[in-house]
Every structure is written in structure tokens, then in C-alpha cells.
Chains A and B, each alone.
Chain A
Amino acid sequence: MNLIAIAILAPLVAAVLILLLRRAPAALSLLGTVIGLIASIGLLTNAFAGVAGALTLPGLPDMPLLLVATPLTALLSTLVAVICIFVMIYAVGYMKKDDEKVRFSATLLLFAAAMQTLVLAGDWILLLAAWELIGLSSYLLIGFWYRRPGVTSAATRAFMVTRSADLGLYIAVFILIATTGSSDIATTLNTGGSAAIVAGLLLLVAAMGKSAQTPLHDWLQRAMAGPTPVSALLHSATLVAAGAILLIRTAPMLPAETLLVIGIVGGITTVVTGLIALGENDLKRLLAASTSSQYGLMLLAVGAGVPLAALLHLIAHAAIKSALFLGAGVFQHSRDGTTFGKLEGAGRDQPRIFFGFALAALALAGIPPLSGFFSKDAIIAASLASSDAWLLASFALAGTLLTGAYMARALSILWHGDRQKRSIPGLGWMGAGLAGLVTLAVILGAFFPSIETLLRASLAEDENTLAQILGLSAALSGLALGWFISGERLLGPLLPWSQRGFAVAGGMDNLLVRPAFAIARRCEKLERSLYTGVLAVGRLGLNIGRGARFGDERGIDGLIFALVRGTINLGNRARTLQSGLIHREMAITVVGAALIFAILFIPLLFF
């Protein structure tokens, strides 16, 4: 059986089995994920050996569904599978007390299958399908605790924001298929001219939705209402990654104009959401804002024309951010919440977890030799080498500085405070998952050169020293600022803006949602008047009928009745003749007969 099929089907089959059997969700989900991981690693080794895989399935007429294992897709597939396995291990412990493990595991596996489909998709229809299916899984997982207040609205918002942005993907796909006549992604990448510019911008819109880029960043922070493993897997490493992955895959097609826009969007996002993270009062929401900010850096790298740098940061960030979330989940269990008020000193409760968390935080800030250093360095180098270096590089450096600041702020809050000791059920499983991811966050940088050879692309080396110096000083000063000065003071006048999520004019609610409901109410009003209109027409018909009846009664009926009356009168008169008196009847009969005979015989007399 095809390895691609196994990579997708293993989690899917496990999900179906869990739903049908309704038992052993943990074991089955681990089994499904491990089999999927083995298949993904198989694809990756094949890719290293130069063997590409492909699978064609029947789809729409003339548009078959394609799955391809190129070096890039195989690498991403492995990344997804690796993060999945650690998060699944962690989730066994995290969900220990929850009584809906079956639903949780099944949905998480459904997500894993959809995400594998997304990264391995070779045609636009399948990619679009997977793209929307991960949106669905995200909705189901954010809404997992649907009975808690606020959860439903968070899930709905996430789905609505991403789906609205998905229209960009729909229309971009239509444009690409219409221009090239093929739904094969590889073929459509040859598109050029204005079609490429427009399609590229539309793809950017879709990516902004999924990767929570400004101004569509708000849903991701609210999505933290879901269970923490979900935040770790979906809202840092995979679902959110889809946007960046889309742009990385289509980068060869994107013209310079579109790239510049992508770079600017990424740059603005990294600064704006970085500032939001700095003013955040909740650890998970801080990490969520940071996720937007890091994806902003990736978009910036794509915009600078070096998608490889974006890819490396995506890989490093996946491991780092999931590790951070898993750590946050432990603190959440130990303090029954994730607001900073509750978490003060939580790091001291669990020093080993805190150590892992801190390693990941430093990696994210870009401290050598941790993985984030290499990828962030690549991004800064790319921005310096781009044609709009002054703009992109200042965004990149500001983003790096902010990363250091908000991570140091989180560490400082976790470390300063009173120690509380409490036993956490399932800590073993959680610790194992966290340890695996922290290890990756630390060592992944060592694998970057081999990834470069795999993809047959390499980073520009000439300005590296400058980039390293700038990047490192930004990161270190950020860390120092965050550790020693509180976020509120750092933000200064920006603080209220940050707490509002930099929403302008009431944000999306005022700009889109309210108008939509206003239109809906107008339609409903029109509906009512249409309905009364139809009823009025009906009543008019009835009135005409009544009028006709009136006319009938007085006119036609009158005439008819007059005739009838005449006939009756005649009949009455005739009846007087039929009196029932036999002698009279006899007399009449005789007279009648005589008359008839007379009439019959008179003519005979004349002829």
C-alpha cells in the first residue's frame, strides 16, 4: 500500500475505530499516530533518496485528486506527524480526568488526517478540501468544552474568520484553474502576469485568515478556550501553519508586487501581535499572540524572497511553540487557570517543567545554539538582502526584540512568586510529551543543513555576520527588557491599544458582522412586506370574486331566477288543471282528444 495513503489513513482509521468501539482512545490514537509517523518518515527517506511518490484518486470530471510526496511535502508531513505524536502522548495525561476522551481523541485524529492531506495535496481541490476540514476540526476542538460560557462564541468566531478569509483561496483557485486549465498545483505555478498577482494576493488573504495575521489575528487568542493540547497542536504548529505553508508552496509563482505586500503584512503582524503579547494577562493568550507574531516573521521571509527561511522557522517554531503550550498546560493544571495572577511563581512548583519551558522560550527568542537562533537569523539575513531591506529588516528586528521581551516577561512572572505544591494527575505523560518537544526545540538547528540539501536550496551566506550581530543583540536586549521591566511600563501609551487587540473602529464585529445582520434584518422586513403583499393580492382576488358573485346575483342570477319564476308560474297554472278530480280530468281528456281528432281530421275534409 502506498505510503502517502497510510500517512493519511492511519489517523483517520484510528479515529473511526475509536468512535465505533468507544474504548481505548489513548492506545488507539497513539497507535494511529505512530503508524502515520512511520509512513511519513518513509516518505522522507524516499525523498532523501530522490524518489518522489504520488497517488491519483478520482475526483471531479477532468480534475483528478492528487497526492504528492515531494521533498517539501514529505518534510512537512513528517513535521506534522512528529508534533502530533508528542502532543498525543501529552494529551493522555492532560485529559486524564475528562470523561469525553473518545470524542477528544477522535477529533484530534480527524484533524491529523486532514492536516496530512493538506501538506501532501498535489491538486487545488484536495488542498482546498483539507484546508476547510482543518477549519472544521479546529471548530470542534475549540468548542470541545461547549458547555462552558464563551466557548461557543470562540469556536464560532474562529470558524467564521477563517472561512471568510478562505473565500480568497476559493477565488484564487478558480483563477488558477481558469488560467491554466488544470487543477494540478505544480502546473498552475507557471501562471504569470496579472493572474499571478491577483491570485497571489487572494492566497495571501486566505493565509492571513489561517495564520492569524493582522487584522485577522483576533480569533487565535480567543481559540485558547479549547484544551491546551489543541492549542499546542492546532494553534501553534499545524492549522496555523497552513497559511505559511500555502505561501511557501506557491512562492515560485508569486510576482514581486505580491511578495512585497506579503512582506509588509507579515512585518506589521509581527510588531502588532508582539505588542499584544507584551500586554497580555494570560499565559496561553500571550503564547497565541506570539504565534501570530512568529508567523508574521515567516510571511516576512516569504515576502523577502527566501521561502526556505520561512520554512526553517516554521519547523523550529512548531517544536518550540508546542513545547511552550505543553508547559503552559502543566502550569494550568497546577494552578487551575492560565491568568498571570494565578500563575505567579508556578515555575517554582514544577522546576523541571519550568526548565523545559525556559529552554523553549530562549529558543523562540533566538539564543544560540537553540534552533530558533538559526531560523530567525535566516529571516533577518533574508530581510537584509531583499530589495526593501530598510523596511523588512526593521520589521524583522522589531519582531525579534519583542519576542525576547514577551518571553522574558512570561518567564519572570512564572518564576517570581510563592511556591505551591500540588500533585498533578497524568504528569508523567505530560512530562514525556514536553521533554520530546523541548529536545527538538533545542537540537533541530543541527538538521537545517540537511534540509537545505534535501530541498536543493541554500541560504545566502554573505551578510550572515551582520544579521547574526543584529539579531542576537535584538534578542538579548528584548530578553533583558522583559525580565527587568514590566510589560505595562514597556508598552506605555500603547497599553490600552494592546489590550484592545489593536482593533480599529470596533474591529471586525463593527465592520462586517453588524452590517451582515443589518442586511439580514432588511431582508426579513422585505419578506414580511412581500408576504403581506401576496396576501393582499389573494384578498383582492377574493374581493373580485365577491364582486362577481354580487353581479351574478343581481344580474345573471336575477335573469335566470326571473325565468325560473316564470316557468314556475306557468307550471302552477298548469297544475290547476291537474286537480285530481276524475270527472274533470276525464272531461279535459275527452275535450283534448276531440281537439286532436279535429286537428287531425279537418285537413282530410279539405283534401
Chain B
Amino acid sequence: MLPIVSITLFLPLLGALLIMALRKTSTQAIHAIGIITSGLTLLGSLWMWSRGVNETGFAQLEELDWMPSIGAAYRVGVDGISLPLVLLTTLLFFLTLIYSAKVKERPQAFVVLMLLLETAAIGTFTALDAILFYVFFEVSLVSMYFMIAGWGHEDRQRAALMFFIYTLLGSLPLLLAILGLYLGSEPHTFDMRVWINNPPLDGLAAMLALIAMLFTFAVKTPVFPFHTWLPAAHVQAPAAGSVILAGVMLKFGTYGLVRFALQMTPDAFRDAGIVILIFGVVAALYGAFAALAQSDIKRLIAYTSVNHMGYVIVGVAIAALALDPAIRATALDGSVLQMVSHGLVTGALFFLVGMLQDRAHTREMDQFGGLLKITPILGWSFVLAAFASLGLPGLAHFPAEFQIFLVTLQVEPAAVIVILGIVITAGLYLRAIGKVFLGEPNEKWLAMSDLNTREVLTLAPLLILIIVVGIAPALVLDMIHKTTAALQF
């Protein structure tokens, strides 16, 4: 059988090597290679989807010996939690490369970094060996650092450095936790499946490992108060970088929270469940309120990420606290679906803000006004994405948030206060729409052009999927539910 996971994983790397090998190539050719490579990668992930996931454990396993003496190996595979994220990743990279076809400044380096980042992201979600996971997890930082530092806005150097150091320091505790799990496993191995089926640590050791992992993933997700790098990085990052950062890389945190923290130290997670839940609730509400105070539209969307990822934390914490397996499955269904929805919706929003900034060279909401009349496609796309982000039924976030809130009420009724977030996000999005797109058109922008074909092609798939996932969440949920319903921890 074709090792389709590995092919999908390394295709972008091959593309990157190809571009590096071709010395003198036109900008167009470089972008073409990038788009074709990521398109093939997307097809690869769709192929993985068609092969599906197993009722229990991981599917589509591919293994190779690597460092047998220490029990590390090349092991990849997917389950219902990672496969949707792989699909999201390949889709967003494909669209980002289409959008970035406008990049004229060092296109070779740009596309190579993007493709490297894509391999790192797919690797993070498919790795079943802790060393491999850690390598991919860290390599992604390097690419994103150069992305921000090289193609960002005014204050990009500082933001890039802050992002890099913050998240690099943030991920060191994870390494300690991985070593702890390694030493606790008997015989010693880095096989994540072994750690999941048979959690190697207990008692204090497990709790310490959990705290270490929580720290890492809290920085990555990010959770209040470890989120300061996020708005800074988003504001300075180029639109393509923001889309990947919010759409894909934030999910490393929540994916790790489920895959490592929840599955490998389940008892400690349950003991700490209330604390994690509180962190989630605070993050969700804080993110919403902080977003409400913004006047820069990109910062506003960055903060709503803190809000939406807060719901994911709440869902995972509830899954740990729930005693009934059905409730637990629903909680995880909601959390994983929320990750996918957030990728689609926030991806679309960052693209839209990027397109707006390309035209106006400002992100201050008060500078705009009445754009719906001048650029109707841009305007209506933003309205759709904004309403999706505020959790309107029929659009992608609703089914996920509904499930999360439902189980929250069932398990910890007091925590359902987090639902206030949907009112605040509604308020801030309506305010943004009102300021930027409604009212009398601002004279300054009368000549602004509407979206071109490249931009429409970038956005359309996301907007369509936002509606499809909202109307037929089963499309994604079936895959997720297959795994979550069988989880034992």
C-alpha cells in the first residue's frame, strides 16, 4: 500500500528542495511550483481522508527504524483528532500560497519557508513518536520566525524575535515532560501510542509532567496570561503568516493538550481539570473583552482567537472532568470541531484583513466607512466570516460551540458563564462591520478596487466550507466522533 501519510508529509519539503535547486527561475514559476506542490499535498490529505480512521487507535500507520537503541523511530499515522487538522493544514497552506502569488520580494525564500512550514505542520499532527513530534513542533518556529522577520510590517524584527523566544522557551518544558514519560515507560520508548495506551507516569511525576506540558501548550494556544506574543506577532506578520499562525499553529497547542496532556497523563489531568477549566473560561472571556477594546482590526481578530481557543480549552477540561463517556465524547467532538472551524473562519478573516490592508495600508477601523458599497465582495465576505466567528447557526462555529456549552452545563454548570463570550464577540464584530463597511462611504476610498480573481479563489473555498461545516457538521464530526467515542482514559 502506498505510504500516503509520508508522501503527504514530505511533498512540501520536496517542493522546497526543487525550488532551491532551480537557481534562476522566474517569480511566476516559483509560485507555480509552490501552488502545485501544496495542491498535491492537499490531494494527499484528501486521499488520507478517503482511507478514513479506525474505531480504536491510529490508522494508516507507517514506521521506519530510526534510533532503535533509544526506542525512537519514524512513526506516523492519524486518528479522528489529527486527520481533520491535517486536512485543515493542507487546505490553508494551499490557499495561502495562492494568495501569496503576489509576493514579489524574495519569492524563492518565501515559498521555500512556506513549504518547510507545511511539512513541519503536517508532521506535528501526524507524528506518533515524541522525538519526531518535538522536532516538527520546533522546526515550525524557525520558519515562522523568518516569515515574520522577512515579510512583516513596520516593527517586524522585534515581534519576530519576541515570538521566537517566547515560544521557544515555552516549549522547553515539553521536552522535559517527554523525557519524563520516556524514563517512566518500561521498556523505554518514545512511541506515543504506548504512552497513550499505557500512561507511563503516575502520582507526583505525572502531575509535574502535566504542568510542564500545560505550560508549553498554554503558550502555544495561547491562554491568558501567556498570550502576549500573539497580538504582537499577528499585527506584524504578513497576512499569509497570520493565516498560518492562527489557522494552523495555534492548533499545535490545543492538539498537544489533547494528545499529550489529556491522553498521556489522564489522571493528573482529571485532578487538575477544574484549574484548566478556569483557565479556559478566563481566556475565553478575557480574549473577548480585550478584542472589544481594539481599534486595529487585525488585533481585534487576533484577540478573538484567544476567545475561541479558550472554548477549546473549556471543552477539553470538561472532557477530563466528565464521568459519562457519552458526554466526554461530545466534549471532545466539540473541541476538535472548534479547532477546525476556527482555522476556516479566522483564516478567512485574516485573508480579508490582509486584502483590506493591501489596498488601504491601514488597519485602523475608524479610517474606513461604507466599504460595503465600494467593495461589495470584500464587504459581504467579511460579514459572512464575522457572523461565523460570532457563532451564528448555519456557520462553522455554531455546532462546535453548541456542543462545548452543552457539556459544560452538564458537567460544571457554573462554567457556562463562558457563553457570555458569544454576546461580546457579537458586539465587537457588529461594531467592526458598522465602522468599516456600513455608513456613508469615506471619500478617501472611493477608488478602492474590489477583490480580484486570485483573491476570490483564495477566499471562496473557505467561505463555502464555513457554510458546509455549519449546515452539515456530520461531514467532519463523523470522523472525529469515531475516535472520541472509543477513547479510554
Residues of A within 8 A of B (CB): 58-62, 125, 128-133, 136, 139, 143, 146-147, 149, 151-153, 155-156, 159-160, 163-164, 167, 170-171, 174-175, 177-178, 516-517, 519-524, 527, 530-531, 533-535, 538
Chain A residues with CB under 8 A of B410: 174, 178
B474 contacts partner chain A, Cβ-Cβ < 8 Å: yes
B326 x A62 contact (CB < 8 A): yes
Chain A residues with CB under 8 A of B427: 160, 516
Q: A155 to B427: give the CA distance in the assembly, Å.
A: 12
B225 x A167 contact (CB < 8 A): no
Residue ID in chain B nearest A165 by CB atoms: B423
Given contacts A60-B403, A163-B426, 14 further A-B contacts (CB under 8 A): A129-B398, A132-B392, A132-B393, A139-B430, A146-B439, A152-B439, A164-B423, A167-B423, A174-B405, A174-B410, A174-B416, A178-B406, A527-B231, A530-B225
Given contacts A133-B392, A136-B392, contact A61 B481 (CB under 8 A): yes
Which one of A160, A164, A175, A531 contacts B430 once the chains associate, using CB atoms below 8 Å?
A160
What are 20 A-to-B residue pairs whose CB atoms are below 8 Å?
Answer: A60-B330, A60-B333, A60-B399, A60-B474, A61-B329, A129-B393, A129-B398, A133-B393, A147-B441, A156-B431, A164-B423, A167-B423, A174-B416, A178-B410, A516-B424, A520-B292, A521-B293, A523-B292, A531-B228, A534-B228
Which one of B387, B394, B477 contacts A129 once the chains associate, using CB atoms below 8 Å?
B394
B409 x A175 contact (CB < 8 A): yes
B472 contacts partner chain A, Cβ-Cβ < 8 Å: yes
Interface residues of B in 411-428 (CB under 8 A from A): 416, 419-420, 422-424, 426-427
Given contacts A58-B474, A60-B477, contact A143 B290 (CB under 8 A): no
Q: Mark B143-176, 1 if CB is under 8 A from A, else 0.
A: 0000000000000000000100110000000000
- Min Cβ gap B180→A in Å is 26
Q: A129 to B401: give the CA distance in the assembly, Å.
A: 12
A170 x B289 contact (CB < 8 A): no
Secondary structure type dominating chain A contacts: helix
B292 x A517 contact (CB < 8 A): yes
Q: A136 to B431: give the CA distance in the assembly, Å.
A: 15
A170 x B293 contact (CB < 8 A): no
B122 contacts partner chain A, Cβ-Cβ < 8 Å: no
Residues of B within 8 A of A (CB): 162, 165-166, 225, 228-229, 231-232, 286, 289-290, 292-294, 326, 329-330, 333, 370, 372-373, 387, 392-394, 398-399, 402-403, 405-406, 409-410, 416, 419-420, 422-424, 426-427, 430-431, 434, 437-441, 472-474, 477-478, 481, 485
Q: A527 to B373: give the CA distance in the assembly, Å.
A: 35
Chain B residues with CB under 8 A of A178: 406, 409-410
- Min Cβ gap B154→A in Å is 16
Q: A153 to B290: give the CA distance in the assembly, Å.
A: 22
Chain B residues with CB under 8 A of A136: 387, 392
- Min Cβ gap A205→B in Å is 13
Given contacts A60-B402, A167-B420, A171-B419, contact A156 B430 (CB under 8 A): yes
- Min Cβ gap A16→B in Å is 11
A523 x B440 contact (CB < 8 A): no
Of A159, A174, A530, chain B has the most CB atoms within 10 Å of the CB of: A174
A174 x B406 contact (CB < 8 A): yes
B329 x A520 contact (CB < 8 A): no
Residue ID in chain A nearest B425 by CB atoms: A163
Given contacts A129-B394, A517-B292, contact A61 B333 (CB under 8 A): yes
Q: A136 to B426: give the CA distance in the assembly, Å.
A: 11
Given contacts A146-B439, A523-B286, contact A58 B472 (CB under 8 A): yes
A-B contacts, CB under 8 A, total: 128
Q: A125 to B402: give the CA distance in the assembly, Å.
A: 9
B434 x A156 contact (CB < 8 A): yes
Which one of A60, A153, A538 contacts B162 once the chains associate, using CB atoms below 8 Å?
A538
Given contacts A62-B326, A136-B387, contact A520 B290 (CB under 8 A): yes
Residue ID in chain B nearest A541 by CB atoms: B165
- Min Cβ gap A539→B in Å is 12
Which one of B289, B440, B474 contacts A147 once the chains associate, using CB atoms below 8 Å?
B440
Q: A164 to B440: give the CA distance in the assembly, Å.
A: 28
Chain A residues with CB under 8 A of B373: 147
- Min Cβ gap A591→B in Å is 57
- Min Cβ gap B105→A in Å is 28
Chain A residues with CB under 8 A of B231: 527
Residue ID in chain B nearest A156 by CB atoms: B430
Chain B residues with CB under 8 A of A521: 293
Residue ID in chain A nearest B165 by CB atoms: A538
Q: A429 to B392: give the CA distance in the assembly, Å.
A: 35
Q: A143 to B437: give the CA distance in the assembly, Å.
A: 12
Q: A523 to B410: give the CA distance in the assembly, Å.
A: 30
Chain A residues with CB under 8 A of B481: 61
Chain A residues with CB under 8 A of B290: 520, 523-524, 527
Q: A139 to B405: give the CA distance in the assembly, Å.
A: 25
Residue ID in chain B nearest A163 by CB atoms: B426
Chain A residues with CB under 8 A of B286: 523
Given contacts A58-B474, A147-B370, A516-B424, contact A170 B393 (CB under 8 A): no
Q: A517 to B437: give the CA distance in the assembly, Å.
A: 22
- Min Cβ gap A140→B in Å is 8
A61 x B330 contact (CB < 8 A): yes
Q: Across chains A and B, which 8 residue pairs bring their CB atoms closest together, nearest first?
A: A129-B393, A524-B293, A520-B292, A520-B293, A174-B409, A146-B438, A523-B290, A152-B438
Chain A residues with CB under 8 A of B399: 60
Q: A531 to B232: give the CA distance in the assembly, Å.
A: 9
- Min Cβ gap A378→B in Å is 34
Chain B residues with CB under 8 A of A60: 330, 333, 399, 402-403, 473-474, 477
- Min Cβ gap A202→B in Å is 11
Q: A493 to B409: give the CA distance in the assembly, Å.
A: 47
B422 x A163 contact (CB < 8 A): yes
- Min Cβ gap B382→A in Å is 14
Q: A163 to B392: give the CA distance in the assembly, Å.
A: 10
A59 x B474 contact (CB < 8 A): yes
Chain B residues with CB under 8 A of A175: 409
A534 x B393 contact (CB < 8 A): no
Residue ID in chain A nearest B427 by CB atoms: A160
- Min Cβ gap B486→A in Å is 13
Q: A379 to B473: give the CA distance in the assembly, Å.
A: 43
Chain B residues with CB under 8 A of A170: 405, 419
A133 x B441 contact (CB < 8 A): no
Chain B residues with CB under 8 A of A131: 393
B434 x A153 contact (CB < 8 A): yes
- Min Cβ gap B400→A in Å is 10
Q: A164 to B425: give the CA distance in the assembly, Å.
A: 11
A520 x B416 contact (CB < 8 A): no
Which one of A159, A171, A177 contacts B416 once the chains associate, using CB atoms below 8 Å?
A171
Of A62, A170, A527, chain B has the most CB atoms within 10 Å of the CB of: A527
Chain A residues with CB under 8 A of B333: 60-61
B424 x A147 contact (CB < 8 A): no
Residue ID in chain B nearest A114 by CB atoms: B394
Residue ID in chain A nearest B380 by CB atoms: A103
- Min Cβ gap A319→B in Å is 29
Residue ID in chain B nearest A513 by CB atoms: B427
- Min Cβ gap B128→A in Å is 26
Chain B residues with CB under 8 A of A171: 409, 416, 419
Residue ID in chain B nearest A129 by CB atoms: B393
B289 x A523 contact (CB < 8 A): yes
- Min Cβ gap B4→A in Å is 27
Chain B residues with CB under 8 A of A538: 162, 165
- Min Cβ gap A117→B in Å is 10
Chain B residues with CB under 8 A of A139: 430
Q: A530 to B229: give the CA distance in the assembly, Å.
A: 10
A128 x B393 contact (CB < 8 A): yes
Q: A219 to B419: give the CA distance in the assembly, Å.
A: 22
Q: A61 to B330: give the CA distance in the assembly, Å.
A: 8
- Min Cβ gap B165→A in Å is 7
B419 x A534 contact (CB < 8 A): no
Chain A residues with CB under 8 A of B437: 146
Chain B residues with CB under 8 A of A163: 422-423, 426
Chain B residues with CB under 8 A of A151: 438
